Structure 1
Amino acid sequence: MSEQPQEPASTQDVQDTPTTEATPETAAGTDPGAETGTDAGTDAGPGEESAPESVDGASADAERPAPVPQPGPRPGPAPRRRPAPPASGPTPAEAGAPSAPAATEVAHLTSVDREAAAAFGRVDENGQVWVRRGDGEHEVGQYPDAGPAEALDYFVDKYESLVAQVDLFEQRLRSTELSGKDIDAGVKQLRTAMAETRAVGDLDALAHRVEALATIAEDARAAADRARAESRERQRAARTAIVEEAETIAGQDPEKVQWKQSGERLRDLFEEWKTAQRDGRLDKRSEDELWKRFSHARSGFDRMRRHHFAALGEQRSSVRQVKEKLIARAEALATSTDWRGTSTAYRQLMDEWKDAGRLGRKDDDALWNRFRAAQDVFFAARAAANDEVDAEFRENLAVKEKLADEAETLLPIKDLNQTKARLRDLQERWEAAGRVPRGDMQRIEGRLRAVENAVRDAEQHKWTASNPEAKARAEGVVGQLESAIRDLQADVDKARATGDARRLAKAEEALAARQAWLESAQRTLRDVGR
């Protein structure tokens, strides 16, 4: 629940013993509310308002020490109305007193005309002081053992102090941003002072001025309320934006979250929240609701991160166990001399290593180095063994280089049977030469294989050409084509004789095609007959 503004301190009554009081200048220049009121930048709790600034009370002329009569001033009975003095007495206008301003006009009476103010009062034969107002005279009080001028002067001081109080409130109302509660408290305090203070002066004009200020204060209060509402709406929008971004971060897919960046952004949002909170508080309901959402988003993100890394830790523990076993198997194979079988086994281990998953970069690199070291031992031993074998096989390579040169002289083939015989002799000597270094095996074997393929192709071609079935098919095709050509030649002659150009062109085209087919078939037949 919002705290209610405290009641302002009541103004010092004239019934008190006169003492030295602050001057109007001091009252206008020293703002107690500015010292004791709530700073605009101070945080207030949700739903709380800043305490209203106090409005300065009575002030007096410091240059004029108050008299100290004995036994002291005595107030008269409760104010009672008395008929206005006879017409022979001076009227306010005759005495130069200011007339009361309209209710909508604010008169600036900071510089009080003390003589004009004193014209509104009188002292009767009993020492009683009276003040003249629009509805008649009102008893103010007594100032015993003092002359009429001194008694009036004392109560004019009270009037001047009251004017200074009104001036101070007007100055603060026009030059500072007061809260709505400060404005209400100030108006209430002025009205209380007007009702309770016994003073001599143009009280009706001052009352009109206070009511005019009350109207201005009401407008200022409405403007302050609007500004406060707009400020809170901006603050609520800023806080809501912070909360929504935090909720977006917390709602990400755990498998796609950039944990470091997201965590840093949430910390930045928390600092933004604290800054926004220092700039101004919201109402308690909104403050609590947004804070719960923001806190829930932060807690949810932290919980999601802990679960993710806990699961990741379990997964990495499993991956580590698998890779440790693969390392043990690789190390067991490191001293094997079964070069072919162990090479195949290492390829299988490599596939399993890739399927096992990854750890953190540092741990994964350390395990990989162990796994790779075991393979390096094996492959280094295999390379050394191959080097020894290659040294023995270099002489065999020289023999096969000469045999390959000899084989390539068989091409192109002129006599197939003779070429086949020479190739068989070369192949026997090739096998007898033995193995060659691994690096040269594919190259040297390729040279002999090219000669063997050429001989095989020549043999296949010869078999195809001497095939009786192929010869019979070729003769049949030649006969069919010759018959078709004779028929087409007759069509050409007939079309030429009748002058049918379209039929002639079509017959000639068909005739040319059959003649080309016939030439191809005759060549095939000649090849088969060889």
Structure 2
Amino acid sequence: MSSDPWGRVDETGTVYVRTAEGEKVVGSWQAGSPEEALAYFERKYEGLVVEIGLLEKRVRTTDLSAKDAQAAIEHIRQQVEEHHAVGDLAALSARLDKLTETVESRREERKAQKAKQADEARAAKEALVTEAEELAQSEQWRAAGERLRALVDTWKGLPRLDRKSDDELWHRFSHARSAFSKRRKAHFAALDAQREEARKTKEKLVAEAEALSNSTDWGATAARYRELMADWKAAGRAQREHEDELWNRFRGAQDVFFAARGEVFAERDAEQTENLKLKEELAAEAEKLVPVSDLKAARAAFRSLNERWEAIGHVPRDARPKVEGRMHAVERAIQEAEEAEWRRTNPEARARAAGLTGQLQDAVDKLQKQIDAARAAGNDAKADKLAKELEGRQALLDQALKGLQEFGG
């Protein structure tokens, strides 16, 4: 009989392994010595040790799934429990129990990680849905459209959720995109209709502008072009392929009209500038008539100058008040001289002036006699009072005599 600390072979060749529950039969050995029998089953034990070590390493260093790891553990455990090896089988069982705990812990970690990833993916997809639903109401058509396309790419890169949740979120996400596309399509359809209406309106404006381009009714036509420009701006933009062509025709028609008007106005301005020089010369000649010394000659000269003035024509509008004011000033001076002459030669006015002078002279003479009488009587107070009254009457008399002299004495 042969034995070691973990097993023995009896005289019949039966091999035993020692365990905490007592000896267990490992097998029977008839082919050789007991030592060879123990060595054989000890090698089987070492094989189990190596196999467990390799499994421990795989669990620690690879992404071996918990299911596969547990299956491998159970396979080795079955071999240990069948007692087909000699050695510390309890230690192997303990290592397998610990490895089972590790695999279970890893299973829970992965389950928690998977749950966390699912929660993160759900939160991310809910955020995408919320943003998509907000974008569905946007009128920033280009920016919102590009952002929605980017959200689709982001969605595709996220993990799938459970079927129900994923389908519900995708339905909301897809509905938001469809709503935006529908609104955008309706917007651009309406915009196309507006632009088509603008094109028709602008074609009418262009036709009228081109019809007016050869007009010589400068004021009325220029005013109409201003109205057409206001109508053009109010019409809105036509389609891009029509807008530039219509605008070029519209502006071209106006340019033809305003170029022609500009040439006419340039000629008119040159003519009016020359007229201004002539009228300034006439104004200077008229101003030499003032002060009026010979009314008849001044009147005749001014009449002649005025006839020449009227024959000259228009001057620039901004220069008109000044040059016309000079002629009006000379005209007023001649009129004032005529009025003075009329007053001087008017018989009725002369008679009224002579009568007033005579009355004042009589009053002065009467007051002088009264003063002399009062002083002769010694009544100086009365004489002084009458003297003051005499001063006032004498002043009026002097003024009346001066007026009489204007009538030729």
Fold conserved between structures, TM > 0.5 = yes
Q: 1:197 to 1:137 in 2, by over 3 A?
A: closer
The counterpart of 2:224, out of the listed 324, 328, 345, is: 345
Query: Which residue type is aligned with residue 117 of structure 2?
Result: S
Q: 1:457 to 1:266 in 2, by over 3 A?
A: farther
The counterpart of 1:445, out of the listed 320, 323, 326, is: 320
Query: Which residue type is aligned with residue 131 of structure 1?
Result: V
- Map of 2:347 onto structure 1: none
Contact 1:396/1:434, CA 8 A, preserved across alignment: yes
- Map of 1:201 onto structure 2: 87
1:334 Cα deviation from its structure 2 partner: 1.7
Could you say what secondary structure the match of 1:198 adopts?
A: coil
Could you say what secondary structure the match of 2:25 adopts?
A: strand
Please give the alpha-carbon distance, in whole angstroms, between the structure 2 residues aligned to 1:298 and 1:407. 88
Please give the alpha-carbon distance, in whole angstroms, between the structure 1 residues aligned to 2:130 and 2:155. 12
Q: 1:398 to 1:205 in 2, by over 3 A?
A: same
- Map of 2:388 onto structure 1: none
Aligned counterparts, 1:67-82, within 5 A: none
Contact 2:42/2:87, CA 8 A, preserved across alignment: yes
The counterpart of 1:366, out of the listed 245, 263, 286, is: 245
- Map of 2:147 onto structure 1: 265
Please give the alpha-carbon distance, in whole angstroms, between the structure 2 residues aligned to 1:453 and 1:229. 105
- Map of 1:245 onto structure 2: 131
Q: Hey, which of these two has a bigger chunk of helix by percent?
A: 2
Please give the alpha-carbon distance, in whole angstroms, between the structure 1 residues aligned to 2:305 and 2:78. 135
Deviations 1:370-424 (A, max 9, x none): 101111122222233344555655543332232454677899x999x99x98998
- Map of 1:330 onto structure 2: 209
1:161 Cα deviation from its structure 2 partner: 2.8
- Map of 2:200 onto structure 1: 321
Contact 1:129/1:139, CA 8 A, preserved across alignment: yes
Q: 1:247 to 1:457 in 2, by over 3 A?
A: farther
List gaps (5 residues or longer) in structure 2: 336-409
Deviations 1:65-98 (A, max 9, x none): xxxxxxxxxxxxxxxxxxxxxxx985xxxx34xx
Deviations 1:47-75 (A, max 9, x none): xxxxxxxxxxxxxxxxxxxxxxxxxxxxx
Could you say what secondary structure the match of 1:229 adopts?
A: helix
Deviations 1:98-143 (A, max 9, x none): xxxxxxxxxxxxxxxxxxxxx4253662x55443322233334456
Cα-Cα RMSD: 4.1
Alignment of 1:214 with 2:89, yes or no, is: no
Alignment of 1:292 with 2:178, yes or no, is: no
TM-score for both structures, normalised by structure 1: 0.52
1:316 Cα deviation from its structure 2 partner: 1.1
Alignment of 1:122 with 2:9, yes or no, is: yes
The counterpart of 1:225, out of the listed 111, 114, 120, is: 111
- Map of 2:360 onto structure 1: none
Q: 1:171 to 1:450 in 2, by over 3 A?
A: farther
- Map of 1:430 onto structure 2: 309
1:304 Cα deviation from its structure 2 partner: 2.9
Could you say what secondary structure the match of 1:316 adopts?
A: helix
Deviations 1:334-362 (A, max 9, x none): 22232233222222211111110013556
1:323 Cα deviation from its structure 2 partner: 0.7
Larger radius of gyration: 2
Q: 1:447 to 1:240 in 2, by over 3 A?
A: same
Contact 1:177/1:224, CA 8 A, preserved across alignment: no
Could you say what secondary structure the match of 1:200 adopts?
A: coil
Could you say what secondary structure the match of 1:402 adopts?
A: helix
Contact 1:404/1:444, CA 8 A, preserved across alignment: no
Could you say what secondary structure the match of 2:23 adopts?
A: strand
